[in-house]
Structure 1
Amino acid sequence: MDFSALTLSAGVVALAEMGDKTQLLSLMLAARYPKQALPIIGGIFIATIANHACAAFLGEWLTTLMNPEVLKWVLSLSFLGIGLWLLVPDHIDDAEGSKVADRAFQVFLLTIGLFFLAEMGDKTQIATIALGARYSDVLSVTIGTTLGMMLANVPAVWAGQKFTKRMPIKWVHAVAAVTFIAIGVATLIWS
């Protein structure tokens, strides 16, 4: 187990997730199903593992297709791009069409589906692909990025709207952006 890959993955994804559409989705689901916190959290966990494991494996596989010099540039530009992307605020569409009964299993399945789809092409999924390419330990990257998602989204479920009102989202995004940009520059210099 590569603990540096795990901790870095967890940290950058937790920071990147603050104010992200999936965190807003957590808030929305918690408000819509206030008595279903555990099924929502379980759904977030399952969807994140599935999505991020696929992304980390994709990143590792990409390393077999590129020579080290090209890969260094692709990774550096990816991390720099993610860092800049973090400076752009996310928005979530209001989806009122769903009339799902307030039952735990249905909320669990709804959360899995919504989170898996919301993560497709999201900056944290792109970051997971880049981290999977940067570190050869896909398991550590997947565990780390999943942990980061849970660190950001579980409090959103438990605390609801109050969580984001007290957290300076722009500041958190700036710290995450600087972290990704620093990883990009470090990858370019030291790889």
Structure 2
Amino acid sequence: MEALIFSTGVVALAEIGDKTQLLAFILAARFKKPLPIIAGIFCATVVNHGLAGALGAWITSMVTPDTLRWVLGLSFLGMAVWTLIPDKIEEEETKIAGQLGVFGATLVTFFLAEMGDKTQIATVALAAKFSDPIWVVVGTTLGMLVADIPAVFVGDRFAAKIPLKLVHGIAAAMFAVMGVLALLNVGNLL
């Protein structure tokens, strides 16, 4: 249960202001069809984070606990820094929409935008940290939806009222604490 709750919270915070949340704003403004957009976000996230969770679980089986501790600690510290860097959406990611319909465009653009994104990398690290990658993937998917569904329904008006620096600071602090604890081998981290 810890994996679910922690993964949901940290990814929801990390997703605020992320390029995939910006993509949700753009798709919502362009198509004004929230349900196929949300369905596309959900499906793309399940597949993308499912692959990331499997990679995280595989990593834990391939490296020693001491090496894993260093990899996780440094990864979480890197995520803390990356979370503080604002994302920008690339125009090419929204051009696919014309040929695939709303659901297809959302599915493809979200999947591609999430490749190598901080929430995907966080999913790999969280799956390596916790013993149950399925709960991590469920949590990171919920975190994405918690952040992106309001973006789809409320759009840019909502984004202007969110203190992004504060939210990113909180998410960065959570990643940094996890990194330091992993490096110090404090608690039941592995």
TM range (shorter): over 0.9
What's the offset of the Cα at 1:98?
Answer: 4.9
Equivalent in the alignment of 2:3: 5
Question: Aligned to 1:110, which of 98, 105, 109?
Answer: 105
Which of 176, 181, 188 is 1:181 aligned to? 176
Q: Tell me how far apart the structure 1 counterparts of residues 97 and 131 of structure 2 sit (CA, whole Å).
A: 43
Q: Residue 83 of structure 2 aligns with which residue?
A: 86
SS in 1 for 2:84: coil
Aligned residue for 1:46? 43
Distance in 2 between the 1:98 and 1:142 partners?
26
Of 88-97 and 122-131, deviating more is 88-97
Q: 1:34-70 CA deviation, whole Å, 9 max, x = no partner?
A: 1x10000000000000000110110010011100000
- After TM superposition, give the deviation of residue 97 of structure 1 in Å: 4.3
Amino acid at match of 1:33: F
2: CA distance between counterparts of 1:155 and 1:77?
Answer: 32
Structure 1 regions of 5+ residues with no counterpart?
Answer: none
Q: Distance in 2 between matches of 1:17 and 1:120?
A: 14
The two structures have a TM-score, normalised by structure 1, of 0.93
Secondary structure of the corresponding residue to residue 100 of structure 1: helix
* 2:132 alignment partner, one of 129, 132, 137: 137
Q: Deviations over 1:111-161 (max 9, x none)?
A: 000000000000000000000100120110000000000000000000010
CA distance in 1, matches of 2:179, 2:141: 21
Question: Cα 1:97–1:143, aligned 2, differ >3 Å: closer, same or farther?
Answer: closer
Q: Distance in 1 between matches of 2:89 and 2:70?
A: 32
Give the stretch that moved more between structures: 90-99 or 135-144.
Answer: 90-99
**Structure 2, unaligned stretches of length 5 or more?**
none
Conservation of the 8 A alpha-carbon contact between 2:97 and 2:104: no
| Cα pair distance change 1:30/1:130, threshold 3 Å | same
Provide, for residues 65-104 of structure 1, a one-character-per-residue CA deviation record: whole Å limited to 9, x for no partner: 1000000000000000000111111111234745627xxx
Amino acid of the residue matched to residue 83 of structure 1?
A
Equivalent residue number for residue 32 of structure 1: 30
> Where do residues 56-75 of structure 1 align in structure 2 (5 Å cutoff)?
56-75=53-72
1:112–1:97 CA distance, 2 compared to 1 (3 A): closer
1:172 matched residue in structure 2: 167
Amino acid at match of 1:170: K
- Contact 2:97/2:106, CA 8 A, preserved across alignment: no
Q: How far apart, in 2, do the equivalents of 1:98 and 1:154 lie?
A: 21
